[in-house]
Structure 1
Amino acid sequence: MSERPVMIYHVPFPLNPEATSASGIRPVKMRQAFGANGYEVLEVSGRHPERREQMRALRKRISSGLKVEFVYSEASTTPTGLGEKITPATSLARDVAFLRFCRRAGVPVGLFYRDIYWQFEEYAERVGQPYTTLLRWRYRADLRGYRTGVDTIYLPSMRMAEYLPPENQPQTLALPPGAERFDPPAPSSGISLFYVGGTGGYYRMQETVRGVELSPGARLTICTREGEWAESAPHYVDVLGGSTTIVHKSGADLEALYADAHIGVLLLEPLEYREFAAPMKLYEYLGHGKPIVATQGSLAGAFVEENGIGWSIPYGADELSALLSRLQAHPEELDAAQARVREVRQQHTWEARARQVAADLTER
């Protein structure tokens, strides 16, 4: 019999170790972090039939006296139960009912609630009707279920709490993404910027591109999905020049791009959504030891300012160009930011996030 403390790790979808998007990467990293912190992890994941059997077995074990320290769950980006093909095994209530069972059995339950994008008009424009109305109804049903099924709702940032129903807000705590440590080298000359992520919709960054093009000795690499860039490219025609390179890579192929960068970029057009969004790429830059230039007023910008790990500036080409000129004239400022990043990232690992959850839920 294992002497390690036992926890349940629940997600209403299959875990994918090969995931390349933040919504797929985070659940895998948190699952691994709890194991690395010494827990015996009893996992509930997969499609509806798999989860049904796993939850049925765990209900029996808990009812028979299994001691479980806590349950940690991560919500899907879709309403619970609707992220896969509808079959006779589909249930929209089973997962939340399992969390409620655990809580009523005396097991503390924490759940990470990933996103509130579904409340914004951009979501309705992208999804269309009648699907927006249907999906929003199910998102709200999930939040109602969490009031009795969950002790703590974790959010990427506490700024997001005000977008939840008032009944859920007292349940909330912040649990941002984590950083995985890498130590790539940095280029020895010039000043190189790197951005990985979307380029359309609410990831517009034309002023950032224009700012680099205005800066002699600076260059920018944008890594984005090929299909997304095909849609976005026409909106960048007027600002693209010889200092910007567009690539389409993921996974391990990103490491060479990080090694070719001095600075990570989160200088994006200001939007209300970005005021509370905690982008995983911020923590990926942090993990790779790269200082960050971010938009002033965004959550990322506030994090950069508070921790002294880069520069929070207004979203504008002239502002970025002025910063790049200053850094090239005073390379010691860039060196100091790089040193500070390597210091700060120790507090933001995935293992640190998992320890926070364990402390929150077991020391209540």
Structure 2
Amino acid sequence: MKSVLVYYPFALSENPNSGSKLRPLEMKNAFHAWGMENDVNIIMISGTTEQREQQFNDLVSSGKLEKLWFCYMENQTIPLWLTDPGHKPKRPFIDRKVLRYLKEKSVPVGVFYRDVYWKFDELYSLKGLKKTIMQAIYRKEEKFYEKYCDVIFLPSDAMGEYVDIAKRKIALPPGGKAKGISKKGRDDGRSRGIYVGGINNEDYGLFLLLDALELANSQKIICDLTVVCREEEFANLPDVKKNRFAELGVQVKHLSGEPLNELYKEMDYAFIPRYRSTYNDFSVPVKLVEYLSNELPVIATFCEAQKEIIEKDGYGLICADNAEDMSKAILSMAVNTEKFRHNIQQSFVEKHSWKARVKKVKSALLKEEL
């Protein structure tokens, strides 16, 4: 039986509450499902540096790493050497030990390199000497991957321009799931849109969306909007912004998990109204695939990576990051929802599931045709 190593130089989250915590769990589960279907043994190494060292030593001693097919690994938003509690590694050389072993055995290795926010001053909050030191460690991490990895997987092709690793780069956006959605009908003639996410950062574009909603509904109510956000974020909004929701008849809910999944069944389409920026051009919101997994067409701004996914297979509408253009998209979406939903049903899971991502990893690392 062939074996594949999935290597996470960090501890997996027991209660994932963000896309960054969910992705490694979803990929782990998808690898195990793919392995069961294809008679491939999936070997996991994850946890603190001490735990990884123990797991690695046990696997080497047992001979289970002798005939590996390939290895898939991921990094986090902090360098792999600093993922222990308190960012103080007890076994700082374990990752080099593992990767050196794989290189000596000629095992192809691919790493999902998830973010480069540290390269943007407006996004990286550290200042002064701490920032200089951390950026030096990040650059060292890039060189580490360049030395030991064969393929660099990225959230989007557009991000490759900002990753200084001289190896083959392949886009590996977040994956989705087939859910067998049963929509809950409503006969009042209005369409229902949903926004799920942060509301405390102008960059997210929620208040741009509210301005667009006001324009779209100026003659008659075209769209009923529901906003799902964290309760504390809404509580901390200035009164003038809170009043905006009431003025426009926007429902505000604080849901997650199964209650949110049930709410999705009542919705017709969803919004990603982020303002365009260099960073937003190459990042792919996990909410995009969550919406599409729930068969919700998407109205999104023209940030490059999300635009490519949505337009390629007709999963929704792209608009400029201004209220007038977004309001036109709302009017168009209200009468074309079923067309976009049909497109999602036809191809989304086949092309963009987590298992499809695993197959892409395998093909890339074994140099098969993608």
Alignment correspondent of 1:78: 78
Alignment correspondent of 2:18: 21
Moved more, 228-237 or 206-215: 228-237
Secondary structure of 2:68's aligned partner: coil
Moved more, 148-157 or 65-74: 65-74
Q: Matched residues in 2 for 1:32 and 1:91: separation? A: 27
Which deviations, in whole Å up to 9, do the C-alpha atoms of 1:86-132 show, x marking residues without a partner? 488524442244123212211111110011111111233x3334432
Alignment correspondent of 2:156: 157
Structure 1: gaps of 5 or more residues: none
Secondary structure of 2:299's aligned partner: strand
Which deviations, in whole Å up to 9, do the C-alpha atoms of 1:162-211 show, x marking residues without a partner? 1012xx14331111111112214154341111122222333232111222
2:326 pairs with 1:338: no
Alignment correspondent of 2:353: 349
Q: 301, 312, 317: which one pairs with 1:306?
A: 312
Q: 228, 233, 241: which one pairs with 1:228?
A: 233
Rate the CA distance shift 1:117–1:28 in 2: closer, same or farther, 3 A.
Answer: same
**Structure 1 residues 131-142: aligned runs within 5 Å:** 131-142=130-141
Rate the CA distance shift 1:108–1:327 in 2: closer, same or farther, 3 A.
Answer: closer
Deviation at 1:23, TM superposition (A): 0.7
2:281 pairs with 1:281: no
Does the 8 A contact of 1:177 with 1:350 survive in 2?
A: yes
Does the 8 A contact of 1:208 with 1:315 survive in 2?
A: no
**Structure 1 residues 65-144: aligned runs within 5 Å:** 66-86=66-86, 90-124=90-124, 126-144=125-143
Moved more, 223-232 or 85-94: 85-94
Q: Matched residues in 1 for 2:65 and 2:293: separation? A: 41
Does the 8 A contact of 1:258 with 1:288 survive in 2?
A: yes
Deviation at 1:230, TM superposition (A): 4.0
Alignment-mate amino acid for residue 75 of structure 1: N
Rate the CA distance shift 1:149–1:234 in 2: closer, same or farther, 3 A.
Answer: farther
Secondary structure of 1:199's aligned partner: coil
Secondary structure of 2:321's aligned partner: coil
Q: Matched residues in 2 for 1:87 and 1:112: separation? A: 21
Deviation at 1:231, TM superposition (A): 4.4
Does the 8 A contact of 2:277 with 2:303 survive in 1?
A: no
Rate the CA distance shift 1:175–1:325 in 2: closer, same or farther, 3 A.
Answer: closer
Q: Matched residues in 1 for 2:131 and 2:311: separation? A: 37
Does the 8 A contact of 2:52 with 2:94 survive in 1?
A: no
Q: Matched residues in 2 for 1:65 and 1:54: separation? A: 11
Alignment correspondent of 1:33: 30
Does the 8 A contact of 2:158 with 2:304 survive in 1?
A: no
Deviation at 1:236, TM superposition (A): 3.4
Alignment-mate amino acid for residue 361 of structure 1: L
Deviation at 1:68, TM superposition (A): 0.9
Q: Matched residues in 2 for 1:336 and 1:87: separation? A: 49
2:151 pairs with 1:148: no
Alignment correspondent of 2:323: 317
**Structure 1 residues 227-246: aligned runs within 5 Å:** 227-232=232-237, 236-237=241-242, 239-240=244-245, 241-246=247-252
Q: Matched residues in 1 for 2:100 and 2:149: separation? A: 7
2:255 pairs with 1:268: no
Q: Matched residues in 1 for 2:195 and 2:17: separation? A: 15
Rate the CA distance shift 1:235–1:159 in 2: closer, same or farther, 3 A.
Answer: farther
CA RMSD, aligned part only? 2.3
Does the 8 A contact of 1:193 with 1:264 survive in 2?
A: yes
Rate the CA distance shift 1:139–1:89 in 2: closer, same or farther, 3 A.
Answer: closer
Normalised by the size of structure 2, how large is the TM-score? Answer: 0.88
Secondary structure of 1:132's aligned partner: helix
Does the 8 A contact of 2:109 with 2:150 survive in 1?
A: yes
Alignment correspondent of 1:49: 50
Q: Matched residues in 2 for 1:16 and 1:190: separation? A: 40
Q: Matched residues in 2 for 1:143 and 1:321: separation? A: 42
Q: 247, 259, 267: which one pairs with 2:265?
A: 259
Does the 8 A contact of 1:186 with 1:262 survive in 2?
A: no
Q: Matched residues in 1 for 2:107 and 2:122: separation? A: 38
Does the 8 A contact of 2:204 with 2:273 survive in 1?
A: no
2:174 pairs with 1:177: yes
Deviation at 1:14, TM superposition (A): 1.6
Q: Matched residues in 1 for 2:72 and 2:92: separation? A: 19
Does the 8 A contact of 1:162 with 1:169 survive in 2?
A: no
Deviation at 1:319, TM superposition (A): 2.1
